[in-house]
């Protein structure tokens, strides 16, 4: 009985973290999809936004069955705070280096979410939860693809910033 309770608490924790991280991803994409100074990056972020909004809705729905609400815990809280801080700096400073940092943190959030999806996928398989398995698998693939695209855009942005004449 005790192990089942601990197991369910862990599943709730995983959903809370995934929901919180996904909320941060969506908030960042909403801002960067309109304010990012690099047009191709802006398009890449905008393309990911609709899909990530759908994943957020799906996570909130699936997590509700486990009592998850997206409560901010240590890792999600620190990553969300970092994202918020870098977005604030970027919009305040309007400098390429600040947008570069915000873009880089978004890539980190998406990679964290890809890892979370892998854990959820393993849990879903273990518990024979087909709905969660499909959702986690789709989210893992999508986060991998979009984080790779954003990382490629980040590299191009770095070259652009480094080559910019003062």
Q: Name the residue ranges covered by the structural domains of the chain.
A: 2-163
Average pLDDT, the chain: 91
* SS3 state at 152: helix
Q: Tokens standing for 148?
A: 């790779």
Quote the pLDDT of residue 46. 95
pLDDT at 2: 54
In the chain, which ranges are E strands? none
**113 vs 18: CA distance, rounded Å:** 6
Domain 2-163: homologous superfamily in CATH: Ferritin, core subunit, four-helix bundle (1.20.1260.10)
Spatial distance between the Cα atoms of 40 and 161, rounded to a whole number of angstroms: 15
What's the pLDDT tens digit per position in 105-150?
999 999 999 999 999 999 999 989 999 999 999 999 999 999 999 9
Which one, of 99, 79, 77, 96, lies nearest residue 88 by Cα?
Answer: 99
Task: Look up residue 34 and give its two tokens.
Answer: 């309109």
**One pLDDT digit (tens) per residue for the chain, 166 residues:** 455 556 888 889 899 999 999 999 999 999 999 999 999 999 999 999 999 999 999 999 999 998 999 888 888 899 999 999 999 999 898 889 999 999 999 999 999 999 999 999 999 999 899 999 999 999 999 999 999 999 999 999 999 999 865 5
Closest CA to 152 of 48, 79, 16: 48
Query: What pLDDT is recorded for position 8?
Result: 83
């Amino acid at each position: 009985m005790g192990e089942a309770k601990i197991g369910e608490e862990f599943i709730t924790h995983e959903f809370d973290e995934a929901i919180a991280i996904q909320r941060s991803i969506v908030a960042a994409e909403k801002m960067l999809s309109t304010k990012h100074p690099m047009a191709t990056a802006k398009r890449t972020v905008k393309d990911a936004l609709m899909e990530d909004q759908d994943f957020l809705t799906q996570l909130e729905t699936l997590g509700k069955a486990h009592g998850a609400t997206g409560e901010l815990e240590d890792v999600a809280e620190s990553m969300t705070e970092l994202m918020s801080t870098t977005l604030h700096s970027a919009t305040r400073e309007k400098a390429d280096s600040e947008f570069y940092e915000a873009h880089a943190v978004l890539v980190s959030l998406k990679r964290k979410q890809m890892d979370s999806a892998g854990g959820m996928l393993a849990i879903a398989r273990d518990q024979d939860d087909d709905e969660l398995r499909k959702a986690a698998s789709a989210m893992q693939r999508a986060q991998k693809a979009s984080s790779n695209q954003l990382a490629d855009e980040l590299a191009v942005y770095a070259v652009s910033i480094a080559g910019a004449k003062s």
